[in-house]
Structure 1
């Protein structure tokens, strides 16, 4: 019991450090966007999204390189994506009132994000088909190689190109009054704090998995995912209070797109090749697909997120957490381990 309490305190401390680092990083990222004269959608979908996705990227790299737990990193990415889709818009609506969506967000950002989900699942499927790992009577496994990992990264390059075209057509004026050197300094300091905080979250997830005799990726989908999603929550709720719904939803979708197309493949590109358990990946990605469909349907109806729809998103996330809890207690066994 003492060990579990210690691990939970470690996770809490890591979350606090991530929060502080994210505050510095997000403030610097917003100033940089204004300094370079970027439009609101690009600011939310690229600058703020990449900045707030740093914890997820750090979780994949640290879990893979330091602890040999690639699936923990993938679990944290999927769990964070589910959290971003269901919890952040729900809270943003409850904090700032109903959020109006736009056709650009629904038909560009949302659809590209759906493409990101499909491409990552396809990458894992190709790994099982073309790079199978022989396991006698065990689960289906495959090695994700560097050539396969380049596929989602290339897709993110296409995403950046579309954002570049939007920025090129923008008439936003650059703000020359912002001190770029100082702003970049606090951006880097924020990144360092985030890495330290995420390492504490990863260690806590591995320790909780050992303490309860369950795979660490289950805790990565909850503990690490929720802790690393705080930057996205901070950015989106701040934007909602300031009545900037475009930044709120663009940050959520842009952050998830970056996580799926860059954060996961980067672990593979650094390590060379990494094995995945298809029995774990498919149910995780399956729930992410479900959350994506629900989010898209709700954001499209009436081109607005209402309070009732916000509560629906939060209830669905509660069901997600309950499912993982039942898995950890071995009451259900959709995730075979």
Structure 2
């Protein structure tokens, strides 16, 4: 393993995060100057910005013919977003779960996960599959815009106006500056994705791990840094419902938009590794489904549940490394997790959720938050 491998990885991550930030700021102000409401900017530009690193890396990997890296990045990011980032954020402060997340967004996240696995079941994602996924994100975004304009446009307009600095007086030729920021952000994203993909491939070869495992771990965590920063800062500021919504929205966007775009631009269908279909996709779906009983347990994510998420993410990562290196203990580890730990956890969560459901129901005060 050479020093340049780490240079590529670190440089790639820095450029991706910086590029996403610059792109969001420039695009938001540019859109505002053209008269687009702050709410719509928040639901589109900001949503794209937090997933811009995943988009850049998966699209670049698809163009380079590195399908394992593209798939691992998205699947790994979705697993890391819930287990690691949401778990870590809940350890900082218990998180509030809104009614819309339980009734709408989490089921959509589960549905998107099942749809993606269904499309990938034949061992590849074609351009047609990519079109189906990308059509899903267009429909979802349009629905969010329409429903939000009906329900709470004024409050959210003020929130996004303040957050994105859209209340500032436009400067002369400001659109030129903002357009330059958008262009600069795109350049940083492309450069960062090139560096990160190159560094990830070199790291996989040096450690004797597959590109899929590196995509599921190192690259997934790296491209999820914007979500990590957003959720942790939201928890620290007391905006604990935003922290949860950010993660769920990002996961939906990753599956429908990121994988959709990657499949559309790939010269050939993206091949899906058999072990990814047999293990990683089911884990991603299980993690999405697990959100429902945990979110129902008092309509909040407590610290013990956050700790449970983080522990499971560590266990998942350990298994990936053991399996990829061919360690015999991997089978014993997997049997223990699947045969004892996961079923026990599932029963516990169902009992806790059932008690919460019986106590509050869909008309309880907790659900009105």
Q: Same fold (TM over 0.5)?
A: yes
Match of 1:102 among 98, 102, 118: 98
Task: Report what 1:134 is aligned to.
Answer: none
Pairs aligned (count): 313
**Given the alignment of the two structures, is residue 209 of structure 1 paired with residue 204 of structure 2, yes or no?**
yes
Output the aligned Cα RMSD. Answer: 2.6
Aligned to 1:56, the other structure's residue is in SS state helix
Task: Report what 1:137 is aligned to.
Answer: none
Q: Distance in 2 between matches of 1:124 and 1:178?
A: 48
TM-score (norm 2): 0.76
**Given the alignment of the two structures, is residue 239 of structure 1 paired with residue 230 of structure 2, yes or no?**
no
**Given the alignment of the two structures, is residue 88 of structure 1 paired with residue 85 of structure 2, yes or no?**
yes
TM-score (norm 1): 0.83
The aligned runs of 1:39-50 (5 Å cut-off) are 39=39, 46-50=44-48
Q: Alpha-carbon deviation of 1:46?
A: 4.1
Aligned to 2:269, the other structure's residue is in SS state strand
Task: Report what 2:168 is aligned to.
Answer: 177
Match of 1:62 among 48, 60, 83: 60
Task: Report what 2:133 is aligned to.
Answer: 152
Q: Give structure 2 stretches of 5+ with no counterpart.
A: 335-369
Match of 2:225 among 226, 230, 235: 230
Q: Are the counterparts in 2 of residues 44 and 247 from structure 1 also a CA contact under 8 Å?
A: no
Q: Distance in 1 between matches of 2:94 and 2:111?
A: 27
Distance of aligned partners of 1:296 and 1:44 in 2 relative to their CA distance in 1, 3 Å threshold: farther
Distance of aligned partners of 1:62 and 1:275 in 2 relative to their CA distance in 1, 3 Å threshold: closer
Q: Are the counterparts in 2 of residues 89 and 310 from structure 1 also a CA contact under 8 Å?
A: yes
Deviation per CA, 1:102-158, whole angstroms, max 9, x where unpaired? 111122111111111011011112xx2xxxxxxxxxxxxx44322222222222222
Q: Are the counterparts in 2 of residues 78 and 285 from structure 1 also a CA contact under 8 Å?
A: yes
Task: Report what 1:77 is aligned to.
Answer: 74
Q: Are the counterparts in 2 of residues 45 and 254 from structure 1 also a CA contact under 8 Å?
A: no
The aligned runs of 1:8-19 (5 Å cut-off) are 8-19=6-17
Match of 2:112 among 104, 113, 116: 116
Distance of aligned partners of 1:281 and 1:26 in 2 relative to their CA distance in 1, 3 Å threshold: same
Distance of aligned partners of 1:187 and 1:320 in 2 relative to their CA distance in 1, 3 Å threshold: farther
The worse-fitting range, judged by mean Cα deviation, of 182-191 and 282-291 is 182-191
The aligned runs of 1:161-200 (5 Å cut-off) are 161-169=142-150, 170-171=153-154, 172=157, 177=168, 179=170, 181=175, 182-183=177-178, 185-200=180-195
Q: Alpha-carbon deviation of 1:44?
A: 6.5
Task: Report what 2:316 is aligned to.
Answer: 320
The aligned runs of 1:262-281 (5 Å cut-off) are 262-281=257-276
Q: Alpha-carbon deviation of 1:24?
A: 3.1
Q: Distance in 2 between matches of 1:164 and 1:83?
A: 27
Q: Are the counterparts in 2 of residues 144 and 273 from structure 1 also a CA contact under 8 Å?
A: no
Q: Are the counterparts in 1 of residues 43 and 141 from structure 2 also a CA contact under 8 Å?
A: no
Q: Distance in 1 between matches of 2:31 and 2:148?
A: 11
Match of 2:326 among 311, 323, 330: 330
Q: Give structure 1 stretches of 5+ with no counterpart.
A: 129-141
Q: Distance in 1 between matches of 2:31 and 2:242?
A: 12
Q: Alpha-carbon deviation of 1:21?
A: 2.7
